[in-house]
Copies of this chain bind each other. A is one copy, B any other.
Amino acid sequence: MTIKDLLESKAELTHDRRDSNGPVVLSSRIRLARNLASYPFPTRANPAQRREILSTCLSTLKDVTGLKTATVFKNEKLSDLDKKILFERHLISRDLMHSANGSGILISRDQSVVVMVNEEDHLRIQVLRNGFQFKNLWRNIDRIDTAIEEQLHYAFSPKVGYLTACPTNLGTGMRASVMMHLPALITLKQMDKVLRAVSQLGLAVRGLFGEGSDASGSIFQISNQTTLGEGETEIIKRLSSVLDTIYEYEINAREKLLESEPIKLRDKIGRAYGVLRNAGVLTSAETMNLLSLIRLGVDLGTFPAETREMVDRLFIEAQPGHVSYLGQKELESEYRDRLRAHLIRDYFKTIAEPDFHSMEPK
């Protein structure tokens, strides 16, 4: 598989979708940080050691059930644009984009399992799925982790658990997160209140592209902060219960919004559709905010449910790297904004016109 294949395997991008929280939860992810006992952490390892770690890890990984057909990318073989695309697809981290030689990425055929080698830790094992799917994800990642551990000797302390390069990952080495679409909480200016409550509960909230990114498209990544002193299933249980609450808050906020400003909401969604369908120039930021309104429109019955999948795809495909890829090179932002508008127009030509019947004030 090449980056091109990866971009073109659209059917496989969205994984399965059996959850009931589709309207609010875009995707779930669990990652484990692991290190080999016999090597220094990646930043301390010399080039020869990094190469050894990479080759050891990759040969083990290729034996794990489900990863036999996975594709391996060596970091130094990837162009900046390739890495940007993998990052925009949430397959690699910002750290890996800039890491030294000897790093690599393994991506399963369906893109639901990604392992980074020699990022901050020797191994960063990640599983992703659309919707709210922690149970499935945990079962899958636990199986993969166990299979690796049967072959490799992890750095582990009976007292603290798995050892990691950064103390914030010590213990379980686990970070579980979901992407949530919270447009109503944003519109009603209740998001700050939610953020405060969430951080008091030891959870972290970030934008669509992780630490330091903004809440573009009203999308938030919510994850556990602590990895120590709690078992994996306990962490997941606690996180899930907070996410359920945020989900309820968002649904209530939507009801309130529909009750108090149905006309404004209908106007905003209509305009968003009109602009996406007809603009000649679209920046990434504007696109995200307009797509967010369309996704809300899907949830409110303005567009058919299939449109949600298109919107979720566009949240990624409208990012700068993906649009540049269409132009076959890194593009100047002005040309990129035109190409983005072209891409979006073509997608929006394929969907039904909005039907605001369900939103008409009684």
Contact = CB atoms under 8 A, between A and B. Distances in A.
A356 interface: yes
Contact of A266 (B263, B270, B280): B280
A356 B280 contact: yes
Contacts of A354: 278
A343 interface: no
Nearest to A356: B280
Nearest to A345: B270
A304 interface: no
A149 interface: no
Interface residues of A, number: 21
A207 interface: no
Contacts of A268: 280
Contacts of A279: 267, 270-271, 274
Contacts of A267: 279-281, 341
Contacts of A356: 280
B274 A271 contact: yes
A206 interface: no
A268 B275 CA distance: 10
20 contacts: A263-B334, A263-B338, A264-B280, A267-B279, A267-B280, A268-B280, A270-B278, A270-B279, A271-B275, A271-B278, A271-B279, A271-B280, A273-B274, A273-B278, A274-B275, A274-B279, A275-B275, A277-B278, A278-B354, A280-B356
Given A263-B281, A267-B280, 4 more contacts: A271-B279, A273-B274, A274-B277, A277-B278
Interface of A: 263-264, 266-268, 270-271, 273-281, 334, 338, 341, 354, 356
